[in-house]
Structure 1
Amino acid sequence: MADIVSMAEAVAELVRDGDTVALEGFTHLIPMAAGREIIRQGRRDLTLVRMTPDLVYDQLIGAGCASKLVFSWGGNPGVGSLHRFRDAVEHGWPAPLALEEHSHAGMANRYVAGAAGLPFAVLRGYAGTDLATVTSTIKQITCPFTGEHLAAVPALNPDVTVIHAQRADRAGNVQLWGLVGVQKEAVLAARRTLVTVEEIVDELTPMPDAMVLPSWVVTAVAEVPGGAHPSYAQGYSERDNEFYAAWDAIARHRDSFQRWVREVVFA
């Protein structure tokens, strides 16, 4: 059964310096509050994994938490670049950032392989691209049955996966619905998992198309209302589009970003 704890306790117990950490969520249910807690606790040398790194990883990179990023797309959705991500890559500030780039399909299949306990995934991908020339974790293999040339990518097994969801019950069973990405696969692939939720309830009410993660795959649950802001949690909150636009100015310069960290993250 998953432990019901505070977010600060969960991060202190589960996220360690040098870990490979996945904070997953696609447009919706992004674990933003947990990312800020990792910053507050001063974690360092993290390998950050995410299919679509956006603001939460811009913040972690800018705060000096990361040494490597494994990803398939990065940006401020609908706005533009991630300036702290870009500064780390181009100028090594506040620390150099190594990159491992994949396609969306490659990342998703890596999680699936990790969740299934397989060493690698096979897909019809990367053909006609030069990603394999810069990403050592993309290999070509030949199908032993048909002779077809395919791409192989290693399984992803994060030390810690963090997601946000709508509800959990007091036994630690987690319920999420709406626009979801690879949260289930990222949780199943991880060694340890933290789920922040909008609320903890006595009983989970059935919802159309809802996904339930049983308590035995979850290490810890923390009740964090609004924990996805500025992304949204269907049924609980709406996307804060103004914040995404405002982030461009906040993150564009080191001084304004550091001021935001002091005044918001550590307030």
Structure 2
Amino acid sequence: MTGKLITMRQAVERYVPDGCTIAIEGFTAFICFAAAHEIIRQRKRDLVLCRLTPDLIYDQMIAAGVARKLIFSYLGNPGVGSLHCIRRAVEQGVPRPLEIEEYSHFGMVGRYLAGASNLPFFPLRSYTGSDMPAANDLIRFVDSPYGDGSIAVVPPLKPDVTFVHAQRADVHGNTHLWGLLGTQKEVAFAADKVVIVAEEIVNEDVIRRDPNRTLIPGLIVDAVVHEPYGAHPSYVQGYYDRDNDFYLKWDESSRDQATTEAWLAEWVYDLPDRAAYLEKLGRETLDRLAPGTLMAEPVNYGQYR
């Protein structure tokens, strides 16, 4: 039974039209580079990219010219330095001009929560004393109806589509996640269309036996893609570690637009899919990223009789 199972190529063709607003989240972990590379490969244009930390994934997408706007809350190559492609786009308009809309991390979380809950705004106190409201007129202040002064609010964020990477899912989209979750659940409930990208496709009874890990129910999922190592060079808890060497090498490759375009040609445009990417990456690299084993204790959920 195929259920909602499709290929990444089909998912991008079906759910990522030019000009749409897209979120590919994952806080350090679960960053779906496989989706980003397919979007680049299909030469999508005028996208609005939403993400707490743009990371290498949006640096690559912006270098490929797919985006017209970035909505974010921190800009940098984690543990390394600048994101040179985004900086070129903002400062020089290369390869095309980029509009930016900046928030704090909690501001972005609040936007997703408001979107997921269908609220008109999300209140937060962390902008008091900050210069950020002066740079973003969507961060506004209202009087609390409970008489405790002024409070900042941010508007809801409802992406047209989100790609959520996870450890495992069934063909209906019921999805298990564990580890450093970030805003995967919030963005899934906020988005209009949800594509789950899973390391493993498992039988429905595997999901049912561990309901507390089912962060995303199939009823909000539009499609499921099976894509092992789809989050490389980020990591997926229990499946592979973060490829720190890759992050360091990207800093070198991305400092110049010509070398960036050469990298995109070699690692994205000239490869038909993620399987070809993994073959090029090589077994030695994948073995180096093996996470080892540390099993959790089993839990007895009990059974009604």
TM-score, with normalisation over the residues of structure 2? 0.85
Runs of 4+ in 1 over 3 A off after TM superposition: 205-209
Gaps of 5+ in 1: none
Mapping for residues 99-118 of structure 1, pairs under 5 Å: 99-118=100-119
- Contact 1:177–1:209 (8 Å) recurs in 2: no
Equivalents in 2 of 1:211, 1:120: separation in Å?
A: 27
Mapping for residues 173-192 of structure 1, pairs under 5 Å: 173-192=174-193
Partner of 2:83: 82
Higher RCO, Cα 8 Å, sep 6+:
1
Q: Which amino acid aligns with 2:236?
A: A
Render the CA deviation track for 1:97-130: whole Å, top value 9, x for unaligned: 1110001111101100100011211111211111
Between the two proteins, the alignment pairs up a number of residues equal to 267
Structure with larger Rg: 2
Offset of residue 18 of structure 1: 0.6
Offset of residue 210 of structure 1: 2.7
Does the alignment pair 1:254 with 2:248?
no
- The RMSD of aligned alpha carbons is 1.5
Mapping for residues 18-57 of structure 1, pairs under 5 Å: 18-57=19-58
SS at match of 1:3: coil
Shift in alpha-carbon separation, 1:156–1:75, aligned structure 2, 3 A: same
Render the CA deviation track for 1:81-111: whole Å, top value 9, x for unaligned: 0000000001000110111000111110110
Equivalents in 2 of 1:39, 1:153: separation in Å?
A: 30
Partner of 2:299: none
- Contact 1:25–1:181 (8 Å) recurs in 2: yes
Gaps of 5+ in 2: 271-305
Offset of residue 65 of structure 1: 0.5
SS at match of 1:4: coil
Render the CA deviation track for 1:50-75: whole Å, top value 9, x for unaligned: 01110000000000011110100011
Single out whichever of 208-217 and 142-151 deviates more from structure 2: 208-217
TM-score, with normalisation over the residues of structure 1? 0.97
Partner of 2:221: 218
Single out whichever of 83-92 and 145-154 deviates more from structure 2: 145-154
- Contact 2:111–2:121 (8 Å) recurs in 1: yes
Q: Which amino acid aligns with 2:262?
A: R
The structure where strand makes up a greater share of residues is 1
